[in-house]
A and B are shown apart, each in its own frame.
Chain A
Amino acid sequence: MTTEKEKITESNVNGNNGNNNIELELEHNFRVISPGRMVAKRFFKSRLSVAGLIMIIFVFLFSFVGPLIVDATWGYKENQVFKIERVSDMFTTADFTGPDGMKYTYYDKSQTVITFKAPPSKDHWLGTDTSGFDIFTRLMYGGRISLVISFIVIFLETFIGIIMGGLAGYFGDWVDLLIMRLVDIFSSLPTLPILLVLSATISSIEAIPPEHRIYYLMAFITLLGWTGVARIVRGQILMLREQEYMMAATTTGISSLHKIFRHLIPNTMPQLIVTATLGLGGVILYESTLSFLGIGVPFPRAAWGSMIALADPAKGQDILANYPNMWVPAGILIVVTVLGFSFIGDGLRDAFDPRMKR
């Protein structure tokens, strides 16, 4: 009885007893592009995303491989002071009223020897700065710290965001209400003023060494930054929850934990990668801003923001006007990095989005 049934099913279902070869031939003729390759293909189709990728690769090589090369060839370190003596003309002028009531101008030309602020040369491609550090080398170390910090921050932000957003989206109801109000509160806090206050507070605590200050500040940025990720994850999960495969998971009696971590989260991944990439640029900007304000990475260590801060007009126009080699490269690097991450993020979004398929 069973065998007969089996036969019926087999013949009906696989049904191509005689035509197996043709079936195979057809299957061989029709081949698809694997999903991963499809994404890569769409990503590389866009010139901008390729440009972004090149920019970011450059910045990475520059910051992580660069210092090693510099160290090996010249033996330059981050905080090595180079005293390069050069003779510089110094003009001083002064106006004064003479005893005869006439106005006079006093000119004095003298020569001094300056050991810092060396102009670009063969040994120091971008010269040295006000403390005698090699600017080119410090750009590399500055990039290192910016990139490392931003990656850590984004990773933590995404991690917290996934958990909170996932809980809110999956359980809904009061859990959702609670978490989303928390998100509202966090995202309505003014970040920069609080950071300034916090920085002052941390500086006054003696137990915390100044070079650790930036980590505390970044931890705080993380604490405020997860809200964006949480919102996205929640939205995605609310949408995915209505998909029939989630209902299928319920009917097969799969536990909530598995449903969240094996069905929902993997499906939100593409979106998350995009937001994380776009977010990297933002964190780098934050870090630079803090360093520029002097509350970020503390002095002897290099940071792009604090390098630009040398040109702060409040401290005099001299550097801003006469030493572009000190601050322009750092600015360019910040722009390149942030733009690069944005381009990659946009490219990824288009590549992941199946609707963009032409």
Chain B
Amino acid sequence: MASMENIKKENDYILEVRNLKKYYPLSRFSLGKSRAYVKAVDDVSFKIKRGTTMGLVGESGCGKTTVGRSILRLHDITGGQVIFDGQDLAKIPPSKLRKMRPQMQMIFQDPYSSLSPRMPVGEIIGEAVKEHKIVPKSEYRSHILKVMRDCGLQPQYFYRYPHEFSGGQRQRISIARAVALKPKFIICDEPLSALDVSIQAQIINLMKDLQERYGYTYLFISHDLSVVEYISDTIGVMYLGSMVEIGDKKRIFDNPMHPYTKALLSAVPISDPDVKMNRIILSGDIPSPVNPPSGCKFRTRCQHCMDICSREVPKLKEYEEGHMVACHLYSQD
């Protein structure tokens, strides 16, 4: 009975990432043992519930994009498991993986380089639909046109080329391409950062509408905390390849525990000239991931750095229900 329950619980999560590691060797042809690595993602674990949105925040170079690409196996991973709908993606052979690809899609950051310049819009959206036979041939055109309408694209755009569109429209095309494959899970890799503020709001709303209508699960990768706060249910904060804090949106924003999360939250400029906030200004830059600090990676910029921080790597521990932090400030027992 217990095991049955377990299975059911497991099924609630569409994606589980366990101890994901992705190291890039620094020199390709070095002999001997002393190979140096860039630890782009170092032991990251999280789960995403079906139909929810998880936000992944962090500064550039913290490995959030690498996490996204590792999940989709756009490159091989060094270690760990990516369990999608009960299957370990890291172990699936490439031909089978290709068949599974329509189920998990990605929306890219740069709407200018993510659309092939020599294909008309209809074909960009429909190419993979044809290849995977998502819909019967007779319904192909109506399916594509429906998807385009869902994403706010006029049917007459079907034969136009991407260069004729603005950034916001292109991002809609990009979303339509993902949605046309009827996916379950969509990774959004900074989909808003190249767009204007007024267009950002349109795209956020579009993504929310689509989620409500079709029940997509999103992994929303962004550096913009206010957007993540708006769209996510759970939030993971990354720093230099590691997850430092993860939890429900409300808990993270109301009660940030990790000093980095606190600094990150306080650094967001507020659109009100009269609110002067106590900003925690972090000193220094993000250390190089080639040679990260020992122990806690954040200690070089942390105000509360203690002796133990340089010696031991803090573990991610649950302090409240659904709120995990990796910091020595809170007891590690």
B-contacting residues of A (Cβ < 8 Å)?
2, 5, 8-9, 12-14, 32, 35, 243-245, 247-255, 258, 262-263, 266-267
Residue of A nearest to B125 (CB): A252
In the assembled complex, which residues on chain A have CB atoms less than 8 Å from the CB atom of B114? 243-245, 247-248
In the assembled complex, which residues on chain B have CB atoms less than 8 Å from the CB atom of A14? 152, 154
A-contacting residues of B (Cβ < 8 Å)?
69, 72, 74, 98-102, 104-106, 108-110, 113-119, 127-128, 131-132, 150-152, 154, 161, 163-164, 174, 177-178, 181, 202, 205-206, 209, 212-213
Indicate whether A255 sits within 8 Å of B131 (C-beta atoms), given known contacts A5-B209, A245-B113.
yes
Residue of A nearest to B181 (CB): A252
A251 touches B131 (CB 8 A): no
Going nearest first, the 4 A-B pairs with the smallest beta carbon separation are A253-B101, A13-B152, A252-B128, A244-B114
Indicate whether A267 sits within 8 Å of B99 (C-beta atoms), given known contacts A253-B132, A254-B127.
no
Instruction: Report the minimal beta-carbon distance from A59 to chain B, rounded to whole angstroms.
Output: 32
In the assembled complex, which residues on chain B have CB atoms less than 8 Å from the CB atom of A13? 151-152, 202, 206
B106 touches A251 (CB 8 A): yes
B212 touches A5 (CB 8 A): yes
**Which of B74, B151, B154, B206 is close to A251, meaning CB atoms less than 8 Å apart?**
B74
9 contacts between A and B (CB under 8 A): A12-B202, A12-B209, A244-B108, A250-B74, A251-B72, A251-B105, A253-B102, A258-B127, A263-B116
| Additional 6 contacts, C-beta under 8 A, given A12-B206, A255-B131 | A5-B213, A13-B206, A14-B152, A245-B113, A252-B128, A253-B131
Complex: how many Å from CA A254 to CA B74? 13
In the assembled complex, which residues on chain A have CB atoms less than 8 Å from the CB atom of B213? 2, 5, 9
Complex: how many Å from CA A12 to CA B149? 12
Complex: how many Å from CA A244 to CA B101? 16
Complex: how many Å from CA A12 to CA B210? 13
Complex: how many Å from CA A247 to CA B178? 12
**Which of A9, A243, A247 is close to B150, meaning CB atoms less than 8 Å apart?**
A9
A253 touches B206 (CB 8 A): no
Complex: how many Å from CA A272 to CA B282? 51
In the assembled complex, which residues on chain A have CB atoms less than 8 Å from the CB atom of B132? 253
Complex: how many Å from CA A96 to CA B71? 100
Residue of B nearest to A13 (CB): B152
Complex: how many Å from CA A174 to CA B115? 29
A252 touches B105 (CB 8 A): yes
Complex: how many Å from CA A46 to CA B131? 43
In the assembled complex, which residues on chain A have CB atoms less than 8 Å from the CB atom of B181? 252
Residue of B nearest to A246 (CB): B116
A245 touches B161 (CB 8 A): no
In the assembled complex, which residues on chain A have CB atoms less than 8 Å from the CB atom of B131? 252-255, 258
In the assembled complex, which residues on chain B have CB atoms less than 8 Å from the CB atom of A5? 209, 212-213
Indicate whether A244 sits within 8 Å of B109 (C-beta atoms), given known contacts A35-B163, A253-B132, A267-B116.
yes
Residue of B nearest to A270 (CB): B118
Complex: how many Å from CA A159 to CA B188? 39
Residue of B nearest to A253 (CB): B101
Instruction: Report the minimal beta-carbon distance from B159 to chain A, rounded to whole angstroms.
Output: 12
Indicate whether A248 sits within 8 Å of B74 (C-beta atoms), given known contacts A9-B150, A267-B118.
no
B163 touches A244 (CB 8 A): no
Complex: how many Å from CA A255 to CA B101? 11
Instruction: Report the minimal beta-carbon distance from A337 to chain B, rounded to whole angstroms.
Output: 31
Most B CB atoms within 10 A — which of A8, A13, A263? A13
A9 touches B206 (CB 8 A): yes
In the assembled complex, which residues on chain B have CB atoms less than 8 Å from the CB atom of A12? 152, 202, 205-206, 209
Complex: how many Å from CA A253 to CA B97? 8
Instruction: Report the minimal beta-carbon distance from A119 to chain B, rounded to whole angstroms.
Output: 57
Complex: how many Å from CA A252 to CA B213? 21
In the assembled complex, which residues on chain A have CB atoms less than 8 Å from the CB atom of B99? 253
In the assembled complex, which residues on chain A have CB atoms less than 8 Å from the CB atom of B104? 251
Residue of B nearest to A32 (CB): B164
Indicate whether A247 sits within 8 Å of B108 (C-beta atoms), given known contacts A14-B152, A266-B118.
yes
Complex: how many Å from CA A249 to CA B212? 26
In the assembled complex, which residues on chain B have CB atoms less than 8 Å from the CB atom of A244? 108-110, 113-114
In the assembled complex, which residues on chain A have CB atoms less than 8 Å from the CB atom of B164? 32
Instruction: Report the minimal beta-carbon distance from B317 to chain A, rounded to whole angstroms.
Output: 34
In the assembled complex, which residues on chain A have CB atoms less than 8 Å from the CB atom of B74? 247, 250-251
Complex: how many Å from CA A252 to CA B72? 10
Indicate whether A248 sits within 8 Å of B209 (C-beta atoms), given known contacts A35-B163, A253-B101.
no
Complex: how many Å from CA A239 to CA B117? 15
A245 touches B115 (CB 8 A): yes
Complex: how many Å from CA A262 to CA B117? 11
Complex: how many Å from CA A262 to CA B128? 12
B209 touches A8 (CB 8 A): yes
A267 touches B117 (CB 8 A): yes
In the assembled complex, which residues on chain A have CB atoms less than 8 Å from the CB atom of B101? 250-253
Complex: how many Å from CA A263 to CA B72? 20
In the assembled complex, which residues on chain A have CB atoms less than 8 Å from the CB atom of B102? 252-253
Instruction: Report the minimal beta-carbon distance from A260 to chain B, rounded to whole angstroms.
Output: 13
In the assembled complex, which residues on chain B have CB atoms less than 8 Å from the CB atom of A252? 101-102, 105, 127-128, 131, 177-178, 181
In the assembled complex, which residues on chain B have CB atoms less than 8 Å from the CB atom of A253? 98-102, 128, 131-132
Instruction: Report the minimal beta-carbon distance from B37 to chain A, rounded to whole angstroms.
Output: 20
Complex: how many Å from CA A252 to CA B186? 11
